[in-house]
Amino acid sequence: MIIQKHLPVQRVTNGPRHHFFGYFDKFPWDKSGRYLLSQAIDFTARQPLPGETAEIGMIDLRDNNRFISLGRTNSWCWQQGCMLQWLNDSGTEVIYNDREGDHFVSRILDVKSGQTRTLCRPVYCLSPDGKWALSLNFSRLDRERPGYGYPGAHDPTEHSPCPDDDGLWLVDLKNNTAKLIVSMARITDLYYRSDMENTPGWFNHLLFSPDSKRIAFFHRWRLWRPDGSPWHVTHMFTADIDGSNIWPLNLEEMSSHYTWVNPNQIINFSNRYTEGWQYYLYTDRSHRTQTIAKDVFPGDGHCSYSSDGKWMLTDCYPGEDHCRKLFLYRLADGTAYEIGSFYSDPSYPIPTRCDLHPNWSRDDRQVCIDSIHEGSRQVYIIDVSELTRPGN
């Protein structure tokens, strides 16, 4: 049973422009809790064209939610933005993706001085120790999974289903160098299936472990239904950050949203032969899995744990009421709360949809979401402290 306990919602951005942060696996808040990162766009409900830029900025939560512009980017998407995120805990530097000519790069920006430096590759995620980033082919991703990659760059591997010179790249942030650590061809050869033959494959959803020693990633490949509509299969892996010691975390058809909850475990909504679509807690480099909140929630969601490991935050896709629900789940006793319900206009094309993508604040007292329930895409904050405060 899910207890309905809708909590007050505060909008912290305003129209006429549309605002959003992006994905659920990054902290939009700086360490002080004062500034919240966001991107501003002049349109919604359609894919961006090459050359249509997004403004990046931060919301000053202590100054009437003032939007402070930090610059513009030529590489962004609706689901994950330009990968805008804090580079370190000092609150002085952010990193984001951009385009130079026919290739993508990333920029490191000092928000106080305005100084920038450019890295050789776009970034997907950062290691918690601040030394590394993971990168992939955002052109391939845009082609195979619209809404997650970027348009406008040249892709020399476009006509290669599983290239041996492209895949996962490890970027050294200090020295501005990049090394291919897992190629598409290598992962295809290691875990080959006959339906991978002559069909595009790609990588997506990359994350470092909390101790910066391991990475997790998806290998997906394109298939078509009898009616000609596309779909894809997902294999999920972990590996050391140099691409060695690859471990097949889930080869059972499909993995979806996930987060590392500690250096050895991952919470992931996935499909397994034992109990079907559920939230599973996987233990890295082992065959141990545990079902979390079995049959409690209506389906797939963007799941993460609070920093103390006591609460799972997740959401869901719209049901018949066209509303996206926001949930908190207390892991100790299985108590589930629906803390919000947000109308989602069904006319939005799928790549441009506005998922809630809930993110924890660093002190576990607040959650922020992106939503279109008031008619435009904006950023909202929900105070969850009455549930998550110590003693609950």
Question: Domain of 20: which CATH number?
Answer: 2.130.10.10
pLDDT at 391: 74
- Each residue of 55-88: pLDDT tens digit? 999 999 999 999 999 999 999 999 999 999 999 8
Nearest alpha carbon to residue 380 among 340, 329, 338: 340
pLDDT of 272 > 80? The answer is yes
Tokens of 292: 């979390």
Percentage of the chain exceeding pLDDT 70: 100
The number of folded domains in the chain is: 1
Q: State the amino acid at position 158 in one-letter form.
A: E
pTM: 0.97
Residues 6+ apart with CB under 8 A from 286: none
Q: In what order do the strands lie in the sheet with 335-343?
A: 2-4, 335-343, 323-330, 311-315, 304-305
- Each residue of 274-306: pLDDT tens digit? 999 999 999 999 999 999 999 999 999 999 999
Q: How confident is the model at residue 382 (pLDDT cuts 50, 70, 90)?
A: very high
Enclosing H/E stretch for 143: helix 138-144
State the residue for tokens 């590392």.
Answer: 260
**Residue range(s) defining the domain that contains residue 138:** 2-388
pLDDT at 162: 97
